[in-house]
Amino acid sequence: MSATFWITIVVFLMFITAMLTASYNDDKTKGL
């Protein structure tokens, strides 16, 4: 595996985590 491949995976996972966190916070706000 090349370094570029791993960097792409890390960035992709960070992007997914950010989206999930944002949607989770939105749900909490709507709940309140």
State the alpha helices, DSSP H only, in 1-32: 3-31
Distance CA 19, CA 28 (A): 14
pLDDT in tens, 13-32: 999 999 988 887 777 766 65
pTM: 0.61
Residue 7 has pLDDT above 90, yes or no: yes
Distance CA 30, CA 24 (A): 10
What is the structure's pLDDT at 31?
A: 60
What is the structure's pLDDT at 32?
A: 58
Type of residue numbered 17: T
What is the structure's pLDDT at 25?
A: 76
